[in-house]
Amino acid sequence: MTHPDALAERSDRDLLAQHCAGDPNAFGELFRRHKDRMWAVALRTCRDPELAADAVQDGFISAFRRADSFRGDAQVTTWLHRIVVNACLDRLRRIKPTSELPEYEMADRHDHHGSVDVRLDVQEALAKIPEGQRMALTLVDMHGLSVAEAAQVLDVAEGTIKSRCARGRSALAVLLQDRRGDGYPLPR
């Protein structure tokens, strides 16, 4: 068993290996390091805080149980992204599809600052594009993953990520231009 303070100095790969070898504290350190980023991925994927929380929990439980399935051909964070995104997609498939934003985001928009309006408009537009494009854009443009990492997370070819991002950006540009008349600058 490794002392918790010593775990903070270990790499993610070492922690996962220690977890597989029976160290009861190793996975807890992985969770501590990556829970916030996985929460952000889940929230952007699900667009619902309760659903995202459930998906993060499902994802980390799955990662805990299947840690020995980590092949080491990607970073541990990429592996965790894939598991959490899959948990999100599983939860989303179980509910009735909707293109509406959750209620908490539909508050009277005139009372909010302009940047909040932009964020809400982008979230609403994202909800209207196909899931594959939304997932690619979320991972690449919003979470800063490389095309290669996003391809691993979504288990598709890098070219597929590139084309989904390009099509998604084009679709968002049209949707956001319709929204304001002149459009918003999109991340590249």
Per-residue pLDDT tens digits for 110-141 = 454 556 677 777 778 888 899 889 888 888 88
| Length of the chain as a residue count | 188
Q: What is the mean pLDDT of each run of 10 residues along the chain (188 residues)?
A: 70 93 94 94 86 94 93 87 89 60 42 61 84 87 83 88 93 78 51
Task: Residue 136: name the closest of 125, 147, 122 by CA.
Answer: 147
Query: Whose structure tokens read 């980023």?
Result: 37
What pLDDT shows up at residue 162?
A: 95
Q: Are 84 and 41 in contact (CB under 8 A)?
A: yes
pTM of structure: 0.60
Task: Go through the domains of the chain in sequence order and give each one's CATH number.
Answer: 1-97 (1.10.1740.10), 98-188 (1.10.10.10)
Q: For residues 7 and 27, what is the distance between their CA atoms, to the nearest angstrom?
A: 10
Specify whether the backbone of 98 is left (phi greater than 0), alpha (psi in -120 to 50) or beta.
beta
